[in-house]
Copies of this chain bind each other. A is one copy, B any other.
Amino acid sequence: MLTSYLLIFHLVGDQASKIEAPLNPNTINPGVANANYAVRGKLAELAAKIRKELESGSLNYPFKTTIQANLGNPQGCGQRPITFFRQVLCLAEYPEILDAPGDLLKECFMPDATKKAKWLLQHMGSLGAYSSNSGVEQIRESVSTFISSRDRYPSCPNDIFLTCGAFEGMLTALTLISGGSQRNERTGVLLPVPFYPVYLALLSTLALNPIPYYLNEEQGWAMPSGKEFASIIRQSKSRGITPRCVIIINPNNPTGAVYDQPHLESVIELAAEERLLLLADEVYQENVFPPSEFKSCKFVLRSLQATHAMDEKYSTLQLISLHSVSKGMVGEGGQRGGYFEAAGFSPFCKQQIQKLVTYTLQPTTVGQVLIECMVNPPQPGQASYPQYKQEYDSIFQRLKQKAEALYDAFKRMPGIVCQAPRGAIYEFPQVQLPPAAVAEAMSFGESPDTWYCMEMLKATGICVVPGSGFGMSNGTIDGKIWFRITFLGEGEEWIAQLENYQSDFMARFRN
């Protein structure tokens, strides 16, 4: 049996094979084949290789650990989970502890964590049981209460859909507007550039056409003006593309911008004019540094609708907004909890969303528990509150400090311009590469931005993502490049390393 098995492998490996495999370059979904996704590309592979070498004792590098500044992975970078959340999860996973003999329960768990776990078990049954496809009713109620009190406009529990992370909300929204080719339409989606690469890949997979709208770097990665938006729309229509949706990422990934009310109003006015579905990705809403303030798209939409109460252009607008437990002070990305709110849909559309969700979503029970804890955390007077408050604030403060320290360092670095960090967990500096550096990159057959990031990784252990992954130019033409870096890394030593690296780099290529 083994012999013939090896023989098969030999045959499979044979490039001269005349019979095509079922899935091959000609039959694979072109939307998948053409999709581009770079966040976990070449750089991440090299970083993984270096990490393995370091772990097995290699002394080949001038650093002891790598910094995964390429991923928005808070707990992967040492952010500690909120204790209350984990106590609740622990008890919900193994309720036998609730009946543990003696004082075990009291010694290890806060009474309000015990109470929350019991409440959840009462409404969810075992965490192993499926919940309703839109999520547990009581948790959807908690989410709508959270949104109502955040925005001071009502939110309805029936508009809330619990998901496995924010991704499923994106996929649901974009699935709803795809399929245009079935009525001979080339459907377009307005996408900010620089973009979060998952969106571009998803648009390709769903045969939707991206309509880029460029953020204005000099103005802190501002949104286009109404006039600029109008021109973008005109151009896309002249290419035969019908815009149907606009994606807003606020706080913004990768730039760290936070949009104020006038900015959001101009996008919503565009949506009103052009009949666009609003897709608001607001997963970084807790990661906002004062004096910047988070205004939800829902709040701005409702405010505009109130101002233009008699104008159907506004009243008929529809919004899908996303949130998750992956970022913020929760940072539980691996556990996959999220929700989307679908506001303003007709009963017909609502029914279609409900149906789609019924055969595509099954939010994990653990993710739902975390959503409940996030939107309904310990309150003053409850046993867990002091610890919760201390943990939350200290995570926030540390992120703020690191964001500022990194920004201050960028300001000092030669050849680098960076916008001030307002929110999210990233900075997106611009680097002006000296011509000699561009030439060296090209001599290795690499694009200048990827090469620059590889050099940085090899010299400092810091792994970042080249700007071309977010739709920015790669530096070939004018040596202007960008990269995205998270400031999640533990400590601040790596910031100093980065600063030294950039000084050395610029010195090395000074003409």
Q: Which residues of A contact B (CB under 8 A)?
A: 1, 4-5, 7-8, 11-12, 17-33, 35, 37, 39-40, 71, 73-76, 79-81, 83, 86-87, 89-91, 93-94, 96-97, 100-104, 107-108, 124-131, 133, 152-154, 164-165, 167, 171, 175-183, 197-198, 201-202, 205, 207, 244-245, 271, 275-277, 302, 305-307, 309-310, 312-318, 331-336, 344-346, 348-349, 352, 355-356, 358-360, 362, 364-367
Contact = CB atoms under 8 A, between A and B. Distances in A.
Contact of A349 (B28, B153, B164, B317): B28
Contact of A128 (B1, B81, B102): B81
B318 A276 contact: no
26 contacts: A1-B152, A1-B306, A4-B305, A4-B306, A5-B305, A8-B305, A21-B275, A22-B244, A22-B316, A25-B348, A29-B179, A32-B352, A35-B356, A37-B358, A40-B358, A75-B129, A80-B126, A81-B126, A104-B107, A124-B334, A127-B335, A128-B332, A201-B355, A201-B359, A334-B364, A364-B367
B207 A182 contact: yes
Contacts of A345: 21, 23
A30 B367 contact: no
Contacts of A39: 358
Contact of A176 (B28, B182, B306): B28
A334 B76 contact: no
A167 B360 contact: yes
Contacts of A364: 164, 334-336, 364, 366-367
Contacts of A8: 302, 305-306, 309, 314-315
B129 A76 contact: yes
Contacts of A102: 104, 107
A271 B352 contact: no
Given A101-B107, A128-B335, A23 B349 contact: yes
A166 to B, nearest CB: 10
A317 B20 CA distance: 9
A140 to B, nearest CB: 15
Closest 10 CB pairs of A and B: A90-B94, A29-B179, A75-B128, A76-B129, A334-B365, A128-B332, A201-B359, A75-B126, A4-B306, A4-B309
B94 A23 contact: no
A126 B96 CA distance: 23
Given A29-B177, A334-B364, 19 more contacts: A1-B306, A7-B310, A20-B316, A22-B244, A22-B275, A22-B317, A32-B175, A32-B356, A73-B129, A73-B130, A75-B128, A75-B129, A76-B129, A86-B96, A90-B97, A93-B93, A97-B108, A128-B335, A205-B356
A91 B20 CA distance: 49
Nearest to A346: B21
A94 B97 CA distance: 12
A214 B171 CA distance: 32
A32 B1 CA distance: 47
Given A35-B355, A37-B358, A178 B5 contact: no
A316 B365 contact: no
Q: Which of A12, A73, A177, A318 has the largest count of B CB atoms less than 10 A from its CB?
A: A12
Contacts of A126: 75-76, 80-81, 334
A334 B130 contact: yes
B17 A312 contact: yes
Contacts of A201: 355, 359
Given A108-B96, A309-B4, A364-B367, A24 B178 contact: no
Nearest to A86: B94
Nearest to A315: B11
Contacts of A359: 35, 37, 197-198, 201-202
A182 to B, nearest CB: 5
Contacts of A176: 23, 28-29, 32
A73 B127 CA distance: 12
A165 B349 contact: no
Contacts of A183: 26, 30
A352 B23 CA distance: 11
B5 A306 contact: yes
